Amino acid sequence: MNGICAGRVAVVTGAGRGLGRTHALALAAEGAAVVVNDLGTGPGGEGGSADPAHRVAAEIRDRGGRAVAHTGDIATAEGAASLITTALDAFGRLDALVNNAGFVRDRMLVNLDQEDWDAVIRVHLRGHFLPLRQAAAYWRAEAKAGRTPDARVVNTTSGAGLSGSVGQANYAAAKAGIVGLTLVAAAELARYGVQVNAIAPAARTRMTEQVFAGSMAAPPDGTFDAMAPENVSPLVVWLCAAGSAGVTGQVLEADGGRIAVMEGWHPGPISDKGDRWTPAEAGAEVRRLLAGARAARPVYGAGGAP
């Protein structure tokens, strides 16, 4: 198949439904061979089924593309290793990794128990780290063998990770961690020909329907559906393509027809006394500095939040 990813091999985690599914289909439509990973769990990580991954892989093949299913748990070392091995065994190479798998277990902080904290951190943050580590080991070996890759990683953060979200302390913490992981990986893996970026998508999926309720409902037929997950996938495809050369260490928001480059933490107003502050002086100076600082985006779900 022709397209901007022709000849490339991509792995997409959590690709049985929602955003992952549309990413996998869009990559295949642009010529990539795709490994479709999905454990097939429920919205809160319960249960499991091989059907979603196999359905999407079959859908790609029915459209003339190349795809195989992987139904292992990528938040385990064994599952992450077999994910990368599946790509190499089926297609002989790996060019792009899209980390997308996840679920939510929303609770207000005082009601959030350790199990729900650990489960969400595990699937999002460890579920990004382990496949990334396995893919990076392969690409490093290729580079050391004189076959420097032209590789791409697309991680999935969230507005919750960038601004916070009431009732989602576990999810927001995991997604914020993914931003840090992205920045470090981009710096460390550049020498091996690997670019690493993150997207913060907003779309209608199983994970968001509970949080946003009716605000993400599909519009009438013929109207642009700003919350359709298909709107996000073109950016993912481009980030996976060779044409995105030179773009790394970035966090991009994407929803509807909007793409925003997130600029991260930069020093704002600064004061240097040249000596140690007293507590009272420090407090007064912080208040003065805050008066001249740009206000942070409000936490989702808090007063004034979008």
pLDDT of residue 48: 74
pLDDT value of residue 223: 86
CA distance 170 to 45: 14
Residue 138 is a catalytic residue:
no
- Domains located in the chain, CATH noted: 9-262 (3.40.50.720), 270-306 (no CATH)
Residue 244 bears catalytic tag: no
Q: Which of 138, 171, 192, 300 is catalytic?
A: 171
Which residues in 227-255 are b (16+ Cβ under 10 Å) and which e? bbbebbbbbbbbbbbeebeeebbbbbbbb
| Mean pLDDT, the chain cut into blocks of 10 residues (306 residues total) | 94 97 98 96 80 97 98 98 98 98 95 97 98 98 98 97 96 98 98 98 75 61 88 97 98 96 94 97 97 93 65
What's the predicted TM-score (pTM) here? Answer: 0.93
**Residue from 158, 163, 233, 244 carrying the catalytic annotation:** 158
Q: What is the pLDDT of residue 210?
A: 58
At 192 the pLDDT is 98
Distance, CA of 53 to CA of 74 (rounded, Å): 13
Catalytic residue list contains 144: no
Looking at residue 222, what is its pLDDT?
76
pLDDT of residue 44: 79
Distance between CA 82 and CA 13 in Å, rounded? 12
Exactly one of 165, 175, 244, 300 is catalytic; which is it?
Answer: 175
- Which residues are CB-neighbours of 295 under 8 A, at least 6 positions away? none
